[in-house]
Amino acid sequence: MINENKNWFLKGLRDGIPISLGYLAVSFTLGIAAKNAGFTAFQAMLTSLTNNASAGQFAGFTLVAAGAGYLELAVMELVANARYLLMSCAMSQKLHPSTSLFHRLLISFDVTDEIFGVSMSVPGKLNPFYTYGLIAIAAPGWASGTYLGVLMGNLLPVNVVRALSVGLYGMFLAVIIPPARKSKVLAGVIFVSMAASFAFTKLPLIADLSTGTRTILLTVLLAEGAAVLFPVKEDEEA
């Protein structure tokens, strides 16, 4: 069992390298936002280690810079990060039923979009040590990028910082394309989700909602529709 967990952890480390590199690039801009809010490099890095939340951190730094109160900051973080509740629910079903509460709590600490996507792509039930491997290499990448962003982010041209972040989108494509090629249903759901996500940014009223709220709404609608139209039997899932 120990060797098996070790192998899963090492596999997670390997698969998490693209995530870490993408985080390192993207969090440069986060470091710039932290610096503008008055954070030191160490404080910004500590924030990223304890709250790996991308959009939530950007929103938090913006509110801190504006002098917002604790209650306003807490409400904003709840709204911006609410989509992680849905991801955590999905991952809880991906784990083997015998997985202890201790492991579930550890995984819940860092359920990001990328770690969730890669973890869910693992065939069969998810070994928590695989996700630990992802977190072990991805979280330092996010924190290091934030630290460097505070120190030298303003020295890099904006176009360079934006170009570096493209690697993260490439990783997402690597996650969704292989399973989509094997399943026409999954490919159709991905296509519909992309089209609907774009439409949600243009539709009246819906476009005014926060990114996190739109993501939750879209996820619930698509997941419910796919579950009703294309149900997966438990034996097939196993």
* Tens digits of residue pLDDT in 165-217: 565 566 567 667 877 888 888 889 889 988 998 998 888 888 887 766 777 78
* Predicted confidence (pLDDT) at residue 80 exceeds the cutoff of 80: no
Of 44-53, 95-104, 124-133, 223-232, where does mean pLDDT reach its minimum?
223-232
pTM of the shown model: 0.72
Q: What share of the chain is helix, strand, coil (3-state, %, to 5)?
A: 80, 0, 20
Regarding whether 214 and 161 lie in a shared domain, the answer is no
Regarding whether 125 and 33 lie in a shared domain, the answer is yes
Regarding whether 188 and 166 lie in a shared domain, the answer is no
Output the pLDDT for position 164. Answer: 62
Which segment, 23-27, 97-101, 214-218, 225-229, is predicted with the most confidence on average?
97-101
Q: Which domain holds residue 57?
A: 2-174
Regarding whether 143 and 192 lie in a shared domain, the answer is no
Residues 6+ apart with CB under 8 A from 58: 30, 33
Rounded Cα distance between 128 and 206, Å, is 36
Number of domains in the chain: 2
The pLDDT of 136-152, averaged and rounded, is: 91
Residues 6+ apart with CB under 8 A from 218: 193, 196, 197, 200
Regarding whether 190 and 157 lie in a shared domain, the answer is no
Regarding whether 105 and 39 lie in a shared domain, the answer is yes
Q: Which has the closest alpha carbon to 89: 223, 184, 192? A: 223
Q: Is 108 exposed, middle or buried (0-12, 13-18, 19+ CB in 10 A)?
A: middle
